[in-house]
């Protein structure tokens, strides 16, 4: 799928009160200058795997972790993303940990960026912060939260966006905390819309990256409205959740993929970036069922087994 050249983006475009203009970024691309001295001369492919709506259903997580870690060993240009709703509803032994069980498993599984879904607020904002601060391997990436000064000591592992340099191509992943408030929250998160969170960080990431990805946890209709509002500012790929559907579609310059629920499958997106043209030239997405022949990550399996084994009775 061909995308609009970044040379054509943002020609005086404005979206609401968060209009973005980046003349230095545009002029650099117009001259054909590479964003980084290490940028390759030939097209580069980047692979992203994604999960979503795990809801404490972790039986397949050792295989997901093993499969993706093996893929990363073959091709370091590989990332693993989660689109939120990791806890609440699943294995009772994990649900009884108020989120710590699934977060500790995510921590060992090699995720590169994650966002929060509406169920992730069930135990309140404070629990999200506590788990994120304790487990750096739950790399929350939230561009639309206005943290208070009181929150700051626990936000050390939370970023508005994350940049990965993969074979000289800089890939930026930003994410939005779900703003749907249909579950018990305890303390409310101070959120702006995911749409505005992306626009808030866009001027900064334009200066630093070549490929743009956003993690969302919204209904399909909300994703469609958000992408339409972004227009030429839209990212190359949106990794979504919330609907529990296996779904993918193309809207304008953006491809969207959602990979079901409960760890029954993973999404795979292969992005081709052409440094000579300074743009993404192709995005191919597919949804893969978990294979019984996938390798098992022993550390993740051992940790899962420790949560699921029956409690010892006192004699």
Give residue-wise pLDDT tens across range 180-219. 765 554 467 888 999 999 999 999 999 999 999 999 999 9
Q: What is the pLDDT of residue 29?
A: 29
Q: Is the pLDDT of residue 79 over 80?
A: yes
Measured CA to CA, the distance from residue 42 to residue 276 in angstroms comes to 7
DSSP designation for 87: S
* Cα distances (angstroms) measured from residue 141 to each of 70, 173, 238, 274: 24, 8, 14, 26
* E strand or H helix at 205: helix 194-206
Q: What is the pLDDT of residue 62?
A: 98
Q: Is the pLDDT of residue 13 over 50?
A: no
Q: What is the mean pLDDT of the chain?
A: 85
Predicted TM-score of the model (pTM):
0.85
Measured CA to CA, the distance from residue 127 to residue 98 in angstroms comes to 8
Tokens 């700051």 locate to: 152
Asked if 216 and 225 touch (Cβ cutoff 8 Å), the reply is no
Asked if 158 and 142 touch (Cβ cutoff 8 Å), the reply is yes
DSSP for 225-238, please give it.
Answer: HHHHHHGGG--SEE
Please provide residue 137's backbone torsions phi and psi, each rounded to the nearest 5 degrees. Answer: -80, 5
Give residue-wise pLDDT tens across range 103-129.
Answer: 999 999 999 999 999 999 888 889 999
* Position 306 confidence tier, pLDDT thresholds 50, 70, 90: very high
Q: Is the pLDDT of residue 97 over 80?
A: yes
Q: What is the pLDDT of residue 310?
A: 64
Sheet containing strand 237-240, strands side by side: 161-166, 169-175, 211-215, 237-240, 254-259, 246-251
Q: What is the pLDDT of residue 94?
A: 79
Stretch 168-189: mean pLDDT: 79
Give residue-wise pLDDT tens across range 26-66.
Answer: 222 233 344 444 556 799 999 999 999 999 999 999 999 99
State both tokens at 127: 């629990």
């Amino acid at each position: 799928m061909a995308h609009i050249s970044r040379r054509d983006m943002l020609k005086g475009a404005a979206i609401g009160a968060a209009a973005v203009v980046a003349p230095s970024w545009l002029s650099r691309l117009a001259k054909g200058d590479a964003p980084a001295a290490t940028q390759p001369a030939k097209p580069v492919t980047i692979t992203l795997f994604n999960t979503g709506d795990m809801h404490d259903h972790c039986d397949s997580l050792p295989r997901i972790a093993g499969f993706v870690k093996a893929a990363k060993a073959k091709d370091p240009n590989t990332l693993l993303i989660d689109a939120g709703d990791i806890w609440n509803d699943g294995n009772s032994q994990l649900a009884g940990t108020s989120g710590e069980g699934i977060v500790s498993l995510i921590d060992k599984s090699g995720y590169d960026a994650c966002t929060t879904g509406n169920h992730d607020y069930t135990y309140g904002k404070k629990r999200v912060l506590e788990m994120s601060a304790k487990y750096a391997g739950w790399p929350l990436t939230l561009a639309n939260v206005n943290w208070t000064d009181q929150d700051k000591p626990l936000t050390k592992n939370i970023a508005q966006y994350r940049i990965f340099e993969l074979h000289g191509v800089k890939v930026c992943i930003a994410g939005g905390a779900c703003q749907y408030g249909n579950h018990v929250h305890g303390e409310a998160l101070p959120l702006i819309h995911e749409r505005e969170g992306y626009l808030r960080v866009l001027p900064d990431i334009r200066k630093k990256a070549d490929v743009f990805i956003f993690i969302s946890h919204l209904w399909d209709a909300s994703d469609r409205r958000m992408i339409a509002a972004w227009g030429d500012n839209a990212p190359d790929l949106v990794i979504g959740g919330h609907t529990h559907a296996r779904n993918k579609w193309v809207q304008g310059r953006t491809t969207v993929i959602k990979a079901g629920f409960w760890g029954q499958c993973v999404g795979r997106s292969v992005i081709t970036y052409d440094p000579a043209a300074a743009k993404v030239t192709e995005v191919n997405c597919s949804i893969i069922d978990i294979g019984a022949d996938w390798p098992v990550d022993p550390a993740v399996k051992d940790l899962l087994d420790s949560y699921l084994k029956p409690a010892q009775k006192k004699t």
